[in-house]
Every structure is written in C-alpha cells, then in structure tokens.
Structure 1
Amino acid sequence: MALQRQSNLEEAKEWMKRLDQEFVANAALRHLDGNIEIEPFFRDLLNALFGWSLKNSNWTEQINQDSFDLDDSVSRIAVQVTSTMTPKKIRDTFKTFLPKHRADYDRVIFIYPFLSKKGSGGDLTSTLEGFDFEPKRDRLDLNNLLQKLQDLEIGQQANALTLLRQELKPLGAALRMGVDQNVEAIIHIIEHISSGVPTRKPEMGPNAQKKLKRFAEHAAYLKRQFTLHVDCFQAVAAARDAVGADPVRSVRCAAWLKERSLAFLDQHNGDARAAFDGLVDYFQEKLHTAGCDCDQPVVRYFLADEFGRCNVFPNPE
C-alpha cells in the first residue's frame, strides 16, 4: 500500500510540475487566457481533494466578476484562481469582495498554478476590516495541493489522479526544447524496466531464427513489427545513447523484459501476437500515466528489436 501511495504521489508531482512549467512560460509571454481555461480544472481538483462543492461563479454571477472565480455556498468558501501573487492583488480582491459578499462567505482562498508562491507581503489588517483571512492558510500553491493529496486514502488519490490525467493530458508532450518526444518516451521505458532487481540472467547467444520457428504461426507478424517500423531506429538508438552503456542496467532491462514477456505469453495462452500487442498496450499506458506522448510504432520497434535480442519471449534455456 505504501508503494502505491509513493507511485501516486510521484505521478501527481510530474503533472503539477508540467502545469507549473506551462504557466511560467505563459507569464513570460504575457499570455493570460490560461487562468480562465484552468478554472474548471481547479474547481474539480479542489472538490476531489477537499470534499467541497465548488461551482464556477462566473457562470452563475456576472461574467468574469473580479473578486472570485469559484464558490461553495454551503461551505461558505470563495476561491480566486490567479497567477498574480502580489499584495496589491489581494488588497484589490478584498476591496471588491467585502462590500458585496462578506455576508455570504467565511473564507476567501487564493489558488496559484505554480509549485511555489511568493510571500503575501505587507500588513492586510486595514484592508480585511476584521474578515478572517490568514495568508499561510488561505493562499495555496501546487505543492500545498500535493500535500493534501498525500493525505488522502488510496481510492480518493486514484480519483484525483484520473482527473489530473484527463485534464492535463495536453501537457504530456515533451516540454524540453529540442528533445524528441519519442526519444523521451523510450528513455522513460528503459528507466522503468531497469528500476527493479533482476530475477533472471539475460540469455547468452540470442537465436532469433530459432525463436521465429518457435512462433511459426505468428512469425510473419512478429517480423513485420521490426521491418515496418525500422524508421524508428534513430529514436530508439538515441534513447539508448542518452541513458548510456551500463552493464547493470542492461542486465536489469533484459531480466525485466524476459520475465514480463513470458507472463504476457502465459496470459494469452502462448499466442505470441496477442502477447506482443499486450506488451505494447502496457507500455503505452505507462507512458500515458507518466505524461509522455509517444508514437506507437516506436514502442513496437523497441520491443521488436528486443525480441531479436531474445529479451522478449526468450527461448527456453
């Protein structure tokens, strides 16, 4: 269970990091529309994390009203989603909010789409006029939301993660300039399969022809996975070069692929075609979960190449 929590948190951290990068870039370009687009996302995420029933205030009140964006009238909470962290922004919000809505809400919460926030700065006493606002409690950044997610029970964490995947999927593409997303995806696969301790030794002296005879019924299909996608060679080679030559990693990768591919083969009653496709689907799902975009042919070529190395569906020793 602890391992699942750790996995959930690591995935959530990756999504939050990508969201932070997106808004940092938008701020540099003075692009402000992202705040409007992100309001429904934070509405659903905050509801999942805190159990609130926030709705979009700009749909029910006047369009783009300037004191808050989301509200829960039962919990008496108003939320403003903003990328502006200045004391002036807080003061201006309360100057508009207090005359109209003080009687309706007990808390005003500022949500910042960044991993860390700046200090609120300055004395807000005169602006608040006695309203209960504590900057440390009521100003939340993405790290604060990660801490809240960490405390949820497993089922609630899973729901929050599903939301992150669905809403932030467009941020799954490689964000590092000059890095091919397919190269990044294969690097991720190599890191994933080399993270465990091997339980089998890699097969010495691979015999691809023997293997094709062994799977004669699906030999043509398995061979096509290599020949049809050979143009993906450069992406796979670049990924292998990026992680570097490491004997220990090679042993772990080979052992992982041998063990898991045989498990898929057993699961599909010896049907090599179905087992191969199952492995492709497995890695595609892992990449999607990690926020990586990848062309499926690259995964197929990688596995076909490992098949030729006798790491996928190894011959009996």
Structure 2
Amino acid sequence: MQRKNYFDYVEEKLAILSIRVKNRGKLNILDVHMHSENFYRDFINLLYGWSLENANNRLQNIEAIDLIDDNVKLIVQVSATATKTKINNSLSKKSIEEYAKRGYTFKFVSIAENADQLRQQKYNNLYNIGFNPKKDIYDISSLEKDILNLKLQKLEEVYQFIKAELGNMPDCVRFNSDLTTIINILAEVKLDENEPLGNINMFEIDKKIEFNKLDIAASIIDDYKIFYNQVEKKYREFDKMGLNKSMLVLQSLKKMYIDALLKNKYDNSDLLFVGLIDEVKEIVINSSNYFDISKETLEACASLLVVDAFMRCKIFKNPEGYAYVIT
C-alpha cells in the first residue's frame, strides 16, 4: 500500500532528525538546530499551505519569533526545548507586543520533545496575542497525525520533500547483515532460465500458491522459481563463509513473515508477499555492507530470496503433504 510506504518513510526520517537534534543539543552542538529551523519552515508551509518566512530576514535574532507569515498573520517559534517556562518566557517578550496589536497568532513547534502535556497547561499571555495551547502547540506526533490524514497526492508531495531534505541523512545505527551479503552475491550472478530444475516439484509449488490465495503474487513466483537451483548453489557458497549462514538468512525471512502476520501489517496474502520483498530491500539498503547496485537488480534479488523462502516452506502456509522436492 503506497500510502503506508510514504507515511512510514516520513515518520522514520522525522524521528531520526528529532533524536539528532536532542542528542546534539546535549553536547551543545547546534548546527542541526539552525538548519532545522529552515527545514521546518518549508515543511510546515507545504503541510498547511502557509507562507512562513525566516524572521531573521527582517531583523536578526528577534526574541521568541523564528518564522513569520503576514498573509495569515502567524508568528512561529521553532524550539528543541519544550517546557511551560520556555513558552511563558516567549509570550512575555517585548517583540510579541507589536504582533499582538496587529491580530497575529503565536504558534510553538517542538522539534525534539513530546508536547502533549504543554497543550494542557495555562500560560501567562502578557500581551494577549492569539494563542490556544490545544491547537497552537505542535510536536512531531501532532504533525504526523495531520500527515496521516492527507490525501494521497499531497502525502506523496510531503514524502518527496522529506526524501529530498532528509533522504541521505545517515541512520543512527547501521548493521552488517547476512541478508545483504547474499543479495550482494546474487547481484553478480547471470541467471540462466534454461538451467534444468532437477527434482523440483512444480505441481506442489502451484498447489501452495493456490492454497495461500496468491493470485497476483503468483506471477512473481512463476518468474523467479525457475532460478531455484542457482540460488541453492549461492547458498552453498555462502555457507563456506561461516557456520549456518544460509539457515540464518532463511530464519530471518521467516521472522519477517511471522512479524507481519502478528502485526496485521498487510490486508491480504498478495500484499504480504510483495511487502516482504519491500522489507528485504529496506533492510539491505540500510545495512553497512550494502553495495551500490541498481534498483532493478535489488528488486530482482530480493524477489529471488522471498520466492526461494516460499518454496522452501519458510514463509506462508503449506498445504497438507506439501513437498517441493521430489524424493
């Protein structure tokens, strides 16, 4: 489901940015804070259709004001610190008075901390500027709730923006992955459609496809099941690199399948099958040992592994008496 893919990507990148802002703030490294101000200016403008500008373009270091939109009369403070004291201090600044007289609304955006408790507080609004804590205090969670309700076309715009701004941002931790190693190995293989399949029982595989109601995904299985022997050979090579390597990869695929079932991540078997391929690709891309291979090659190799796991009884239910190998 594309909506889920877009939202999951945006949620992950905003979460990583939030963690980086918080951790760097503790070390008094504030470069990310500075860039986040402009990032959130453009992000919020896209999300809500505002025309916020950086207040520093008018006057350097205006107290309590980071962004201004004269069209809808908004002033916004973007902060990594989210406390009642912080907001009270901002509302008491002399710079607020002018905008209060002109009918502006004050909004507070927390970019590192949850602000649920702040929305329940009462504040000392010295100049009586427009400010309703319940709707004028934002945090990552409240922004994500609004993103979740966007129409698909708008959600895609947000996704493309986040991808452009944060897509190359390094993850907090990147691990070496055996799954990625076998993908890298398969990426170098010239697949031969004419290689004999030997003792593979295609009737049993077709029966399992029907049993699991894989109507659309059946075409993916048909495309890649013919390469079973070549995958088997590469697994044997892989096992020479370390004890139980292929078994651990197959078990990781099985766990992905079980997790998806337990969390009801997909609406039907076809979506589950394709979803597993996408999850394999995501793990590979985010692994420290990932080689830069083409999108098409990664798609094919991920499909090979998932189809192979399907044939080997690791994922999806087996019909009674299922045996993909003829003995």
Instruction: Specify which of 68, 78, 103 is matched with residue 71 of structure 1.
Output: 68
Q: What one-letter code is carried by the residue in structure 2 that aligns with 1:169?
A: G
Aligned-partner Cα distance in 2 for 1:133–1:140? 12
Q: What one-letter code is carried by the residue in structure 1 that aligns with 2:157?
A: N
Q: CA 1:144 to 1:204, structure 2 compared with 1: closer, same or farther past 3 Å?
A: same
Report 1 or 2 for greater relative contact order, CA contacts < 8 Å, sequence distance ≥ 6: 1
1:55 is aligned to 53
Whether 2:291 is the aligned partner of 1:296: answer yes
Q: Answer yes or no: is the 8 Å Cα contact 1:184–1:239 preserved in 2.
A: no
Gaps in structure 2 of 5+ consecutive residues: 184-212, 261-268, 312-327
Whether 2:81 is the aligned partner of 1:84: answer yes
TM-score normalised to structure 1 length: 0.61
Tell me the CA shift for residue 129 of structure 1.
3.6
Aligned-partner Cα distance in 2 for 1:309–1:75? 52
Aligned-partner Cα distance in 2 for 1:102–1:76? 10
Return 103-112 or 300-309, whichever deviates more. Answer: 300-309
Aligned-partner Cα distance in 1 for 2:82–2:168? 26
TM-score normalised to structure 2 length: 0.60
Q: CA 1:296 to 1:104, structure 2 compared with 1: closer, same or farther past 3 Å?
A: farther
CA deviation map 1:118-142 (0-9, x unaligned): 52376424x3343221112111001
Tell me the CA shift for residue 65 of structure 1.
2.1
Instruction: Specify which of 183, 188, 192 is matched with residue 177 of structure 2.
Output: 183
Tell me the CA shift for residue 165 of structure 1.
0.9
Q: CA 1:24 to 1:240, structure 2 compared with 1: closer, same or farther past 3 Å?
A: farther
Aligned-partner Cα distance in 2 for 1:150–1:107? 25
Return 75-84 or 149-158, whichever deviates more. Answer: 149-158
Equivalenced residues, count: 255
Higher helix share: 1
- DSSP-derived class of the 2:28 partner: coil
Tell me the CA shift for residue 50 of structure 1.
0.5
Whether 2:37 is the aligned partner of 1:43: answer no
2:123 is aligned to 124
Q: Answer yes or no: is the 8 Å Cα contact 2:7–2:148 preserved in 1.
A: yes
Q: What one-letter code is carried by the residue in structure 2 that aligns with 1:84?
A: T
Tell me the CA shift for residue 69 of structure 1.
0.9
Q: What one-letter code is carried by the residue in structure 2 that aligns with 1:183?
A: S
Q: What one-letter code is carried by the residue in structure 1 that aligns with 2:139?
A: D
Aligned-partner Cα distance in 1 for 2:162–2:99? 31
Q: Answer yes or no: is the 8 Å Cα contact 2:75–2:107 preserved in 1.
A: yes
Whether 2:115 is the aligned partner of 1:150: answer no
Q: CA 1:64 to 1:298, structure 2 compared with 1: closer, same or farther past 3 Å?
A: same
Identity %: 19
Q: CA 1:74 to 1:30, structure 2 compared with 1: closer, same or farther past 3 Å?
A: same
- DSSP-derived class of the 2:112 partner: coil
CA deviation map 1:86-124 (0-9, x unaligned): 222112212223233323452111111136225237642
Aligned-partner Cα distance in 2 for 1:130–1:16? 32
CA deviation map 1:179-227 (0-9, x unaligned): 42x539849x9xxxxxx95634884994449xxxxxxxxxxxxx9xxx9
Q: Answer yes or no: is the 8 Å Cα contact 2:92–2:127 preserved in 1.
A: no
Q: CA 1:53 to 1:302, structure 2 compared with 1: closer, same or farther past 3 Å?
A: closer
1:165 is aligned to 163
Q: Answer yes or no: is the 8 Å Cα contact 1:83–1:113 preserved in 2.
A: yes
Q: What one-letter code is carried by the residue in structure 2 that aligns with 1:109?
A: K
Tell me how large the CA RMSD over aligned residues is.
5.0
1:8 is aligned to 6
1:112 is aligned to 110
Q: Answer yes or no: is the 8 Å Cα contact 1:73–1:105 preserved in 2.
A: no
Aligned-partner Cα distance in 2 for 1:151–1:305? 31
- DSSP-derived class of the 1:66 partner: coil
